[in-house]
Amino acid sequence: MAQAPQLPIVQLAQPRIVVLGAGFAGLQVVRSLRHVKAEILLVDRHSYHTFVPLLYQVATAILPPQAIAYPIIEALRGHKNTQFLVTEIREINFTAQQVDTENGSIPYDYLVIATGSQSEFFQVPGAQDYGFPLRNLQHALRFHQHFLQTIERIQREANPQPLEIAIVGGGATGVELAGSLAELGRRPPPWLGGVRVQIYLIQGGASLLPDFAPRLRQYTLKRLQQLGVTVLLNHRVVQVSETRLELMNGCVIETSTVLWAAGVRAALPLMSPPAQTVGRKKLPVDPTLQWQGAENVYVIGDSAWLKQTRGLAPEALQQGRKVAENLQRQLQGKAPKPFHYFNKGRMAIIEAKSAIAEIGPIKLTGWFPWLLWLIIHWFYLPGAWPRGVVLVSWWQTYGRGRRFLSQRLFFHPRD
C-alpha cells in the first residue's frame, strides 16, 4: 500500500517523478505509472481526492460529503512504487530541481504540476469576503452550513421574508446550483419549514452556458424560469457586501447569500525563477504538455494553458494518461508525443429529470441526458462505497424528495 513518507526523503537509484496535486489529472498520472520502474511521489495538501463535479450536490444537501471525498491512500492501494505526502507546497525551485514544502525539500528528476484552480473574483469589491465560492469540499460545507443557519434564522422571525440567493455566473456550476436550489421550492422538504426560496442567476454575457449550442442554451433558460429562477443576462456585479449585491445598472439585490461561480484561475505555487503565465494565470505548455522551456516538467489540468482546452474533468483525465505515457517514453530514451483531446461531448444537469447534452452533432434535452449524466458521473466515482452512498442518496432525493441535513466529516487538521 502507498504510504506517506517522512521528510527528508533520500534520493534513490531510480528516477523520481514528483506529482503535485491529487485532482483528476494528478491522480490519473500516478495511477497510470503504477508499474513503471521509478519512484513516484504524490503531494497534496489534502488527504482525500474530491470528486469536483458533484460538489454542488453536497452544497445543496443532495449528497453527504463522504460520498465525494475518497481517501488518496485507498486510491493508491497496491502501488508499490508510489508514496503519498500530505503537506503544503511553498515553492518550486526549477534551478535546483526541487519542491520546497512546509516539511522540507523534495528533489525531483521529473515534475508534474497539477495543482488545480481557484475562484477568480475579478477584483469585484467584497466578492472574496462575502461571496461563497465552490472549488473544494470545504467551500461546499461552508455554504451548506450557512444555508441551514439562514433558514433557521428566518423561521424565528415574526414576519418571515423569502430566502434570496444570488448566484453569480451562468456556466455549468451556476446553472446546476440554481436548478438544485430552485427545486426546493417545488418539492420543499420538512426542514425548510415553509421558508420560500428565491433564486437569482446573474450572467455577465448574453446567454447561459455559452459553450453549448443555442438551442440547448434556450432550453436551459426556459427550464430555470419555469422553476422560478430569475435569470439576469448581460448584468455585471460591481460590489458585494454582507447584506446586498449591486449590479452595474444600479439594481440591488438584498441578500446575505451570494454564490460565486463566475470564473476560475490556476492555483499555482510560488516558482523560482518566476514563470510567465497567460490567460487565467496558467502556464503555457507545448503540445506534448511539457512546460515551455523544460523537458522534465509537465503541466496539466487547470494549471496548463493549451489551445482549444476548457479545463474539464475528461480533459484532465486524458492529459494525465498522456503525461504518464510520455514519462515512460522519456525513461526509455524516446521522445514524448503530442496530446490530442478526444471530445466525448459535454453535459449539464438543470434539475431532476432535466438536463442537456451535446455529443458531436447530437443535441439532447430532457430526462434521457439527465439519466445519462447520473450514470456517467456514478461510473467515474472512485471506490465501491462512494458509489453505494451516491446511489442511495440520489434515490432519496430524486425518488422520495428528501435531502441530507448537516453532515460532518473529519479531515486532516489543515482542512
Query: Are 232 and 271 in a shared domain?
Result: no
- Identify the domain boundary among 284, 307, 331: 331
The structural domain count of the chain equals 2
Query: Are 162 and 253 in a shared domain?
Result: yes
Q: Answer yes or no: is 3 within a domain.
A: no
Q: Cα–Cα distance between 373 and 370 in angstroms, integer?
A: 5
Query: Are 73 and 31 in a shared domain?
Result: yes
Q: Cα–Cα distance between 356 and 209 in angstroms, integer?
A: 10
Nearest to 111 by CA among 283, 338, 318: 283
Query: Are 165 and 212 in a shared domain?
Result: yes
How does pLDDT run across 201-241, given as a tens digit for each residue? 999 999 999 999 999 999 999 999 999 999 999 999 999 99
Query: Are 131 and 59 in a shared domain?
Result: no
Length of the chain: 415
- Identify the domain boundary among 296, 331, 366: 331
How does pLDDT run across 31-86, given as a tens digit for each residue? 999 999 999 999 999 999 999 999 999 999 899 998 999 999 999 999 999 999 99
Query: Are 227 and 268 in a shared domain?
Result: no
- Identify the domain boundary among 289, 310, 331: 331
Helix (H, G, I), strand (E, B) or coil at 267: coil
Q: pLDDT value at position 4?
A: 46
Q: pLDDT value at position 415?
A: 38
Q: pLDDT value at position 404?
A: 66
Query: Are 170 and 247 in a shared domain?
Result: yes
Angle at 269 between CA 263 and CA 274, to 5 degrees: 105
Contact 141, 151 (CB under 8 A): no
Residue located via cell numbers 503531494: 43
Which regions of the chain are under pLDDT 70? 1-13, 404-415
Domain housing 58: 16-119+264-331
Helix (H, G, I), strand (E, B) or coil at 272: strand
Q: pLDDT value at position 309?
A: 75
Nearest to 172 by CA among 312, 306, 359: 312
Query: Are 20 and 43 in a shared domain?
Result: yes
Query: Are 256 and 131 in a shared domain?
Result: yes
CATH at 85: 3.50.50.60
Q: pLDDT value at position 294?
A: 87
